[in-house]
Amino acid sequence: MLKRLCARWKLLLILFLLTPVLLWAIAQWLVSRMLQPEALVARIEASLNCRAEVTSASANLWSLPATVQLEGLKLAPRDADADQAKPLGQRTPLDPKAPIFAIQSAKLEMNPWALLRGQLNVRSLVVQVVNLNSETPLSGVSTLNQMMAKPAIVAGKPNPALIPDATPTPGTDPAQPANEPKPLNGRRLPVAVIIDSARIEHVRLDFKNEKRKELIRLEDASWNLKQFALDPGNLAKSNQAAFDLDGQFLLVAKRKTTEKNPETGKFLLEKYEQLNLGLHVDASTALFDPKSGLLAPLPFNVTIAKDSIIEDLPALLKIGKKMGKWEKYGLILPPLPNRVKIGEASTVTMNYTQPRLLIDSDFSLILEGYEIILHRGSWMDYAANTCELNLNFLGSPAISQKALSGFTKKLKDKLGDTLGGTLGDKVISLFKKEGLILPDGRLSVPMGLTGELTEPEVDDRITPILENAVLESLIPGL
């Protein structure tokens, strides 16, 4: 009897010890099946309007930390092979230029036991060589937005997710579209997330816009997540992220040439760089508003590297034309160069509060002969292509002294040494009163840029001051 009782206890003990191992083995088998290229591609193509390719994917839940690896992920415009869910071996090979999004490799290391506590603990995430190539045609819908939409056909049949439900869910508004996206709310996330380390290296992002005839590119960028802790149940204490990013920012546009196409009679276009900036971005911020749970504004710092290039920027070209009008008042400044190098590295604090990018600190750019100060409170909205920028152009001491001396000389040549000199002194005194001359003798020219971001209107704030200054000088006591 005792022997049989001991045998039963041994059996129960063995089963007790083997059950977790068996369950873990089943989990390993299920995850491995889910990560097979055929299964992974099927899930991607069922949720995104794209054609997907995966070279390989694997998981090892037996190691500590557990690892998941992915190689050769590509997302391209959807085609018949994706609609019909053809086996991967029977598909037409993708054109190398077709992918909109591609990842060369990714490796995730995580603590699987943390899931038992309702926490996703990522020990390490390393993603290598990421390419995104989005094009916006004249129709206005980008290839990226098209790819992120739900597909119309899944496995050869209409996508059930796009078929409207005739019976509204109790408590919902039938007039509101069922697929209306809801704002992301941190309180509704299923698990707490802690990320110890994450890096994305060798990133290239291209955004082409046919209507604006421009290309925005972030090249050879690297993104490093230094801190990430998020607890949906306690956003007040666990709700923080810190990261930095380095890369080269390019803005390439097209302009009309003097040559015409002999067939169409239209001016030909040529490409040229407007901006070539070395960027460093760093941020440390709360991800969600602890009270509402919605995404919080994102404050961050941007450093523009020395020797970055600004060339033929429409805003600067328009300001240059305005400067030419001041000559009739005797204020002559050398024109802004078409191509300038930034003389010193400069850092600005920004804040992204959807949909606007706000300037939170005065921002100074040192150019050849000039300094541009972009003032706090200025903003840009790239999606709507609008802006409101307040800035000052400061001439170098040499440029300022030459312009002021020339101004007084022109008055003397026109009105004589005595009257011209008196009026010159009066006008310069008024310039100082209006803040056009700084205590160090430099000229400070206020400007405003409003309207379209790509072709802003210039608010000339110096001409009225010049007119008033000259008028007050000629009519004392006015």
Helix-helix angle 2-34:37-47, to 10 degrees: 60
Asked whether residue 420 carries a pLDDT value surpassing 70, the answer given is yes
To the nearest 10°, report the CA torsion of 158, 162, 168, 173: -170
Asked whether residue 7 carries a pLDDT value surpassing 70, the answer given is no
Q: So what's the pLDDT on residue 389?
A: 93
- pLDDT tier for residue 22 given thresholds of 50, 70 and 90: low
Q: So what's the pLDDT on residue 20?
A: 55
Mean pLDDT of 2-27: 57
Asked whether residue 115 carries a pLDDT value surpassing 80, the answer given is no
Mean pLDDT of 266-294: 84
Which of 22-26, 101-105, 350-354 shows the lowest mean pLDDT across its residues?
Answer: 22-26
Q: So what's the pLDDT on residue 241?
A: 95
Q: So what's the pLDDT on residue 461?
A: 76
Which of 13-27, 44-58, 150-164, 327-341 shows the lowest mean pLDDT across its residues?
Answer: 13-27
Mean pLDDT of 281-297: 92
Q: So what's the pLDDT on residue 192?
A: 92
3-state helix vs strand vs coil in the chain, percent to 5? 30, 40, 30
Question: pLDDT tens digits, residue range 382-394?
Answer: 878 899 999 998 9
Asked whether residue 208 carries a pLDDT value surpassing 60, the answer given is yes
Amino acid at 352: Y
* Phi, psi angle pair for 354, to nearest 5°: -45, 130
Q: Report the candidate in 326, 308, 452, 301 with the shortest Cα–Cα distance to residue 393.
A: 326
Mean pLDDT of 346-373: 90
Round to whole Å and give the CA distance between 396 and 340.
Answer: 15
Q: Looking at per-residue confidence, does 244 or 468 come out higher?
A: 244
- pLDDT tier for residue 316 given thresholds of 50, 70 and 90: confident
- pLDDT tier for residue 350 given thresholds of 50, 70 and 90: very high
Round to whole Å and give the CA distance between 336 and 143.
Answer: 38
- pLDDT tier for residue 3 given thresholds of 50, 70 and 90: low
152 within 8 A of 162, measured Cβ to Cβ: yes
Asked whether residue 106 carries a pLDDT value surpassing 90, the answer given is yes
* Phi, psi angle pair for 214, to nearest 5°: -145, 160
Round to whole Å and give the CA distance between 369 and 397.
Answer: 9
Q: Are strands 198-209 and 119-136 parallel, antiparallel or unpaired?
A: parallel
Q: So what's the pLDDT on residue 477?
A: 43
Mean pLDDT of 419-426: 78
Question: pLDDT tens digits, residue range 54-90?
Answer: 999 988 877 778 888 999 999 999 999 999 999 998 9
- pLDDT tier for residue 33 given thresholds of 50, 70 and 90: low
Q: How is 228-261 classified by DSSP, letter by letter?
A: EEE-TT-TTTSEEEEEEEEEEEEEEEEEEEEEE-
Which of 42-56, 108-122, 124-138 shows the lowest mean pLDDT across its residues?
Answer: 108-122
H or E element in which residue 357 lies: strand 356-359
Round to whole Å and give the CA distance between 340 and 316.
Answer: 11
- pLDDT tier for residue 31 given thresholds of 50, 70 and 90: low
Q: So what's the pLDDT on residue 300?
A: 95
Q: Running DSSP on this structure, what letter comes out for residue 265?
A: -
392 within 8 A of 372, measured Cβ to Cβ: yes
Round to whole Å and give the CA distance between 282 and 224.
Answer: 9
Q: So what's the pLDDT on residue 59?
A: 86
- pLDDT tier for residue 10 given thresholds of 50, 70 and 90: low
Q: Running DSSP on this structure, what letter comes out for residue 141?
A: -
Q: So what's the pLDDT on residue 428?
A: 82
Q: Locate 115 and state its tokens.
A: 């899931």
Question: pLDDT tens digits, residue range 225-272?
Answer: 999 999 999 999 999 999 999 999 998 887 666 666 677 666 566 666
Q: So what's the pLDDT on residue 478?
A: 38
Mean pLDDT of 29-53: 85
Q: Locate 209 and state its tokens.
A: 């816009």
- Mean pLDDT value across the chain: 83
Q: So what's the pLDDT on residue 201?
A: 95
Task: Give the three-class secondary structure for 430.
Answer: helix
Q: Locate 452 and state its tokens.
A: 């379209």
Stated pTM of the model: 0.80
Tell me what percent of the residues of the chain surpass a pLDDT of 70.
Answer: 83
Q: Locate 379 and state its tokens.
A: 């903003």
Which residue ranges make up each domain of the chain? 27-150+186-313+336-362, 314-335+363-478
Mean pLDDT of 301-308: 94
Asked whether residue 150 carries a pLDDT value surpassing 70, the answer given is yes
Q: Locate 95 and state its tokens.
A: 């054109």
Q: So what's the pLDDT on residue 47?
A: 92
Q: So what's the pLDDT on residue 352?
A: 93
Q: Report the candidate in 166, 267, 254 with the shortest Cα–Cα distance to residue 214.
A: 254
CA distances from 66 to 62, 123, 209, 225, 226 (A): 6, 9, 42, 20, 21
Q: Looking at per-residue confidence, does 336 or 248 come out higher?
A: 248
Nearby residues of 276 by Cβ (< 8 Å), 6 or more positions away: 248, 249, 250, 308, 309, 311
